[in-house]
Amino acid sequence: MPGAHTAAISAAPTATGVRWRIFAILFVIVVINLVDRVALSVAMPTIAAEFALSPAFQGLVLSAFFWSYAALQIPGGWLIDRFGPRVLIAGSTVLWGFFQALAAAASGGVSLLLTRIGLGAAEAPLFPAGGKLNVAWLSARERGRGAVLMDSGSPLGAALGGIAITWLIAGLGSWRLAFLAAGLGTMAAGLLAWWYLRDHPGDHPGVNAAERARISDADLPQVAQAAPEALHTRSLVGVLVGRMGWAMVFFGIITWGPSYLAQARGLDLKQMGGATFAIFLCGAVGSLTGGFSADWLVNRGYARAAVLRAMLTVSGLATVAAFLVLPHVAEPVTAVMLLAATLFFLMWGSLYWSFPALLAPPDKVGLVGGAMNCAGSTSGIVIPILAGFILQATGAYDAVLHFFAACALAYVVGTLLIDFGRASARGTRAAGER
């Protein structure tokens, strides 16, 4: 009877929202992650004066983070598949908070460099572990949102990091106390992660049957498909090339963006700080917009393959166009607006963090995520050096901007190599609900 059917529907329990609270915690940890990364850049003028560091050694210290970060991506991914994301996220966060606090005790450039190597090693598992949580906790129709809820913390952390660390240094009167406070706060976030995160929905006491059904897509049977048995080689190459091209642009803007605004656009320190905040805030909004839009389109019936390919191609081509146009923009305000729009579209690339769950077998998600992040973090080592050589050779930023356009084109080419047709049909929870 219609009345009985309506009553049964109304009596059905509402799904709990534990999965979104887990990703909210992950978002906060990613924001803290970026704040801790940029802390040294903000404090470097003060530290360099205290330790009498040469410009060359300053560059060495600033790049040291990526040495261990890149080297440990794949081993970190293996550890995630072996021990689970909860242990790695909580342990990683506590450990990098320790190294951040330990930097407060640095007595010179060498000891400071060693703490940065430790920081990079400790942070290495975070993003691949987030990719593992994506496959364990979210259905295929929600993974785009999960990916960007995690990755949008990166530009927001970059935007907030300078303000937060500057405020701590000014308020506490010491860069050492600022690093100590930041490190202790990070360690507290790691303890929160251990308390609340779980590797699987079945392990969490707050998850009810309705949420487990939604995670497993049991209320949408036609979405469920067999889990992938292997990652297609062409797709793996595409993921690595695309992520490296994307990261070249992202880290290029982080490392050279402030100098470009000051030297090529004539902004003073206050204007540069405000412009940088606005640019990266637009990036965070773009990341969230891309993920929520992708899931909305898929849930409206559009093929996941078409949605991912179209959105990421638009993201890359918009970035290419922006860097080709930017040298011809005369007004500084217009240039800042164009950079903000560029980062808005570039951060649609956060969708890449849904790929390990979509493309890899469940027991290799962490490893594939580590390989992908290794490709991206290697760009963090390479791009500051390459951009610096190009700037030194040409004496102007135009060639640097054109190089960034070429990197964005590699992002597009890599994306087009990925076999999204296989990924579009994969929506299972084969990561092992219990």
**Is residue 155 included in any domain, yes or no?**
yes
Output the six-digit token pair for 54: 């040469």
pLDDT in the model for residue 433: 36
Task: Tell me which residue range forms the domain holding 410.
Answer: 14-424
Measured in residues, the chain has a length of 434
Between 273 and 4, name the one with better pLDDT.
273
pTM exceeds cut of 0.85: no
> pLDDT-derived band of residue 3, with 50, 70 and 90 as boundaries?
low
> Average pLDDT of the chain?
84
Q: Retrieve residue 4's tokens.
A: 């009985």
Domain annotation covers residue 357: yes
CA angle, residues 164, 169, 170, in degrees to nearest 5: 100
Domain assignment of residue 432, yes or no: no
Query: Two tokens at 207?
Result: 């998850």
CATH number at residue 245: 1.20.1250.20
Give buried/exposed letters for 277-311 (b at 16+ CB in 10 A, else e). bbbbbbbbbbbbbbbebbbebbeeeeebbebbbeb
Which pLDDT value is given to residue 169?
84
Residue 27 lies in a domain: yes
Does residue 431 sit within a domain? no
Mean pLDDT of 3-26: 73
Q: 268-284 pLDDT, tens per residue?
A: 767 877 888 889 899 98
As a whole number of angstroms, the distance between CA 318 and CA 303 comes to: 22
What is the total count of domains within the chain?
1
Q: How does residue 55 score in pLDDT terms, banded at 50, 70 and 90?
A: low
Residue 2 lies in a domain: no
User: 392: number of CA atoms within 13 Å, CB side?
Assistant: 6
DSSP type of residue 425: T
Q: Is residue 430 part of a domain?
A: no
Position 47 in a domain = yes
Residue range 78-87, pLDDT digits in tens: 898 889 999 9
Q: Are 236 and 40 in contact (CB under 8 A)?
A: no
For 83, other C-beta atoms within 10 Å of its C-beta total 15
